[in-house]
Structure 1
Amino acid sequence: MLAAGAASAPASAQGSLVMYCGVQEEWCRAMSTTFEKETGIKVAMTRKSAGEVYAQLRAEASNPRGDIWWGGTGDPHLQAAEEGLTLEYESPANKDLQDWALSQWKAAKQRSIGIYAGALGFGYNTEQIKAKGIPEPKCWADLLNPKLRDDVQVADPNSSGTAYNLLATVVQLMGEDKGFDYLKALHKNVSQYTKSGAAPAKAASLGETAVGIVFIHDAVVFAVQGDPIRAVAPCEGTGYEIGSMSIVKGARNLENAKKFYDWALTPAAQALGAAAKSYQVPSNKNSPVPPQAPKMNEMKLIDYDFVKYGSSAERTRLLTKWDKEVKALPK
């Protein structure tokens, strides 16, 4: 019994770090194992979607078990910052970061920093679309085609930062009333709301669904490996994420969390993303941008209001409305 209890307890000995990771498993493993190898600090890593990590931090607020939250969309990081779940920190690496990364840090009142950026869009299976005899989708409006009924996948915004970004993007792009009308119409074509934001890209690559709404870089992963999937930045315009990193308030291994934070902002650490087949745009100005990374400067991006849509009140309001007016609708 004692052994079982020790095994389930969070790492708290000197030389340990408990990491909550919000990107793909391969990148999470690359970050944790490389840091462990370079520093000798033993890392206990758990991979979850951004919304799930945020919920876990809230649940553990009175007895924090994590030390560092690395990755995942910035909105939940901002919500955690607003609720005092994360800690203020200024890294020496800040001087080397892109303006958008520092904007996240300022919006979070120094409790979160931008580590990568990625634009929202979708990936479609070229073979499936051809078989349906419909034009290749280029716009959000194209996903409402009746011939795509039960053939679109997107995550649930309650668990997924990607899907919450979609919800906030549609509201900002179309206005709240028309945005929710769009999501209600889209609901008819959604076969399932997945737990993970990136899962619909894999489903599209395998032909399990015709279209997956994801961050564009998640679709690029499968296009690069030769799957019949094409990534799209929607013609009407789209939102984007600032993937972020935060130190958990009350971290038991605070000094190691700071070491990881500083290390994760270095060009060498950020280059691990492309090596793990993740093609986001890194936040350090000296980090090489993967050639496969979507060209965000060529997209029609909205002026995404990270402060408003990263607030707990707005997130709660929009998710409650989505649950009631969209997800609860019959198919």
Structure 2
Amino acid sequence: MKHLKKALALTALMAAVNANAQTELTVYTAVEAEDLKKYAARFNEDHPDIKVNWVRDSTGVITARLLAEKDNPRADVVWGLAGTSLLLLKNEGMLTPYAPKGLEKLSLKFRDRDETPSWVGMDAWMAAVCVNTIEAEKNNLPMPTSWEDLTKPVYQGHVVMPNPNSSGTGFLDVSAWLQMMGEDKGWEFMDGLHQNISRYTHSGSKPCKMAASGETTIGVSFAFRGARLKEQGAPLEVVFPSEGLGWEVEATAIVDGTDKMEAAQTLVDWSITRQAMEMYNEGYAIVAMPGVAQPVKHFPANAEELIIDNDFGWAASNREAILTEWARRYDGKSEAK
């Protein structure tokens, strides 16, 4: 019994020592909530010496929070935020350049172009349209195949999409339309689409979730959410519009001013390992390391061929002006925050 008590006491002491030895990182993220649990658990399996305090919200909210904290940063690392947001933070001098181990294995599309990059990519999420097949039949609505289809009068009141001021998915849509169609025709398209919108949400996932539950017939969202809901049995058709798909890089960066640099670098190193890429590929068809991605159910086999040639620099530089103009034109249909 004495030996058992001593063993238990020693175990408790070692646990206390290990807890005290942990480095704590504050990490801001816009990763989907259910994926974040998985990512956190797998990172902690490899690095139990680092305790991560997660701060999660939508892309627009996290970006705004980081900008508001520019002179007094609270985050050490950003893991899973839109590349355009990280470009904006880089231009504000808010990121510490770092070349993680294995950088040379990443596609050039998935990293900051500086020799020592300020951010590195994880995966790509791409636009899609979620259509509730039961509601479409009930309302006698044809299945859309293009973005232009969504401006047809038959869809009036049946479409929900994300507000780009709060949702990264909303912004990638708006940015892509302006790039694909040109600015004049892009805004003209959005004027037509606005006539059919019942509301703008503050989450990129929500329009697809609403379509899955029958709250709306059509939700402009992203492929990952549509594929997952369809796999769970939702009566959805996941449509990939024929003109091309907006997309964004989910990326990682070190916030300038952190005093936990070694732990921050460890997290960024881990975020681009093959193990991490295989983990991202469980939900995303396109990942930053070529040769890793396997087909994902309910995604098109040619996913990379469908995404547009996205000019992230243009999108980041024009982000504020685009969001201001969008809000001026369309914010009246946004749901309350």
The interval holding the TM-score normalised by the smaller chain is: 0.7 to 0.9
What amino acid is aligned across from residue 289 of structure 1 in structure 2? Q
Q: 2:145 aligns with which of 122, 128, 138?
A: 138
Displacement, 1:109? 6.7
Q: How does 1:24-39 map to 2 (within 5 A)?
A: 24-39=32-47
What amino acid is aligned across from residue 100 of structure 1 in structure 2? K
Cα 1:170–1:282, aligned 2, differ >3 Å: closer, same or farther? same
Secondary structure at 1:213 match in 2: strand
Listed one character per residue, the Cα deviations across residues 85-133 of structure 1 (whole Å, up to 9, x for unaligned) are: 211110121122123213xx11697111111023222111111111111
Are the equivalent residues in 2 in contact too, given 1:116–1:282 (CA < 8 A)? yes
Q: How many matched pairs?
A: 313
Partner Cα distance (2:158, 2:205) in 1: 16
Displacement, 1:296? 4.2
**Structure 2 portions without partners, runs of 5+:** 1-19
Are the equivalent residues in 1 in contact too, given 2:84–2:316 (CA < 8 A)? yes
What amino acid is aligned across from residue 141 of structure 2 in structure 1? I
Structure with the greater alpha carbon radius of gyration = 2
1:84 aligns with 2:84: no
* Aligned residues: CA RMSD: 2.2
Q: How does 1:110-121 map to 2 (within 5 A)?
A: 110-121=117-128
Partner Cα distance (2:179, 2:291) in 1: 32
Are the equivalent residues in 2 in contact too, given 1:82–1:108 (CA < 8 A)? no
Are the equivalent residues in 2 in contact too, given 1:107–1:307 (CA < 8 A)? no
Are the equivalent residues in 2 in contact too, given 1:86–1:248 (CA < 8 A)? yes
| Aligned residues with identical type, % of pairs | 32
Are the equivalent residues in 2 in contact too, given 1:118–1:281 (CA < 8 A)? yes
TM-score by length of 1: 0.88
Are the equivalent residues in 2 in contact too, given 1:19–1:66 (CA < 8 A)? yes
Structure 1 window deviating more from structure 2 (173-182 vs 298-307): it is 298-307
Displacement, 1:271? 2.7
Partner Cα distance (1:280, 1:53) in 2: 24
Q: How does 1:243-258 map to 2 (within 5 A)?
A: 243-258=250-265
Q: Which residue of 1 aligns with 2:8?
A: none
What amino acid is aligned across from residue 141 of structure 1 in structure 2? E
Q: Which residue of 1 aligns with 2:286?
A: 281
TM-score by length of 2: 0.86
Displacement, 1:290? 4.5
Are the equivalent residues in 2 in contact too, given 1:73–1:162 (CA < 8 A)? no
Secondary structure at 1:291 match in 2: coil
Displacement, 1:61? 1.2
Q: Which residue of 2 aligns with 1:155?
A: 162
What amino acid is aligned across from residue 15 of structure 1 in structure 2? T
Q: 1:181 aligns with which of 178, 182, 188?
A: 188
Are the equivalent residues in 2 in contact too, given 1:173–1:238 (CA < 8 A)? no
1:259 aligns with 2:266: yes
1:305 aligns with 2:311: yes
Q: Which residue of 1 aligns with 2:72?
A: 63
**Structure 1 portions without partners, runs of 5+:** 1-11
Secondary structure at 1:133 match in 2: coil
Partner Cα distance (1:299, 1:97) in 2: 18
